[in-house]
Amino acid sequence: MAVRIGMMSFAHMHAYSYAHCVKQLEAEGRAQLVGVADDDPQRGQQVAQQYGTRFYESYEALLDAGIDAVIVCPENVKHRPLTEMAAKAGKHVLCEKPLATSKADGRAMIEVCKANGVQLMTAFPCRFSPSYIRLKQMVEAGELGEVLAIRGTNRGRNPGGWFIVPELSGGGAVIDHTVHVTDLCRDLLHSEVVEVYAEIGNGFCHSDFDDTGMLTLTFANDVFATLDSSWSRPKVFPTWGDVTLQVVGTKGLVYMDMFAQNSTLYDDRNMRITLEHWGSSIDYGLVSAFVESVASGKPVPITGEDGLAAAEVAFAAYESAKRGEPVQLPLPE
């Protein structure tokens, strides 16, 4: 039977891709996009029409529409209330990253889902990249020997809007872009971050949110990683950004560029040159895995705990930059 899914908010741009993936799964008979609810009724109605589904005037009405699961994509600070609402209604949750804007909120989200017998999955689509999967296979097969260090980047363009309002986003570039690569490193190393040092600033926009972040992470297994999580790409850059990992081992070094598969588009209409990605859809891998877990009852591959562990690194980075010294993990509850 197809998994019946509702979309809670399209404030985050990733929601559009996730909805498209649900429609793909609908064509395969695996899922159904039952409806959309949004704080912005005009946006919600437009999206519902775009994806051929129904607009619900409240989240409560959507949750009462016989759905099995929800995809939660509001502003970051609303992840907790919408997840709690869905969990108490008995719906499984796929929540956009970062899981939460505080450790307390993330812990509460995990606990409410457990208490109501529903699954909580964090949206980390990068785990489904073929290039990352191959890299992980190489590391686990010992082809690189003992891993010594990792250099990662998740550089992008400043998205603007609520992303640069700390009261809604929880920060800026660091909370937005730290979590993806941190999650990949945790998954690759099977080890937790125990120390974070960060230099954070606003070197491009010169405003009250952070658009630059350079982090050094130390893992429990003594591997260290550096991460550039800055919004350092100008508006005319040919792609939104990147996700790269350079893994250094005792037997060799491997460089992974997650979005290297692209075609160069010379667009006279918009007077821009862009790099259009043609590789596998990592968002489809993410949504498909969530649907499979809901349908089968097997555990989701990326848990709420995974989401909180990655978010906690971002929280520690802000604290480190504030203090001007390394911060130990885990942070106090």
CA 156 to chain centre: 14
Contact of 247 with 185, CB cutoff 8 Å: no
- For the chain, the average pLDDT equals 97
Q: What mean pLDDT comes out for the span 159-166?
A: 97
1 band by pLDDT with thresholds 50, 70 and 90: confident
| pLDDT > 90? residue 67 | yes
| pLDDT (tens digit per residue) in 185-200 | 999 999 999 999 999 9
**Every domain range in the chain assigned CATH 3.30.360.10:** 127-280+311-328
Closest CA to 162 of 10, 49, 51: 10
Fold of 3-125+283-302: Rossmann fold (3.40.50)
Q: Residues 240-258: what's their mean pLDDT?
A: 97
CA distances from 115 to 88, 217, 274 (A): 9, 33, 47
Domain with CATH 3.40.50.720 in the chain: 3-125+283-302
Stronger pLDDT, 6 or 270, i.e. the higher one: 6
- Confidence class for position 333, pLDDT limits 50, 70, 90: confident
Which phi and psi (to 5°) does residue 37 adopt? -130, 145
pLDDT tens, position by position, 86-124: 999 999 999 999 999 999 999 999 999 999 999 999 999
- Using the predicted structure, report yes or no on whether residue 17 has a pLDDT greater than 90: yes
- At 39 the pLDDT is 97
CATH class, domain 127-280+311-328, is alpha beta
- Cα 232 to Cα 178, 202, 243, 270, 322: the distances in Å are 14, 10, 13, 22, 21
Does residue 58 carry a pLDDT above 90? yes
Mean pLDDT of the region 68-84: 98
pLDDT for 66 = 97
pLDDT over 70 for what percent of the chain? 100
Query: For 305-322, what is each residue's pLDDT tens digit?
Result: 999 999 999 999 999 999
pLDDT, one tens digit per residue, over 223-242 is 999 999 999 999 899 999 99
Q: What is the mean pLDDT of residues 276-283?
A: 94
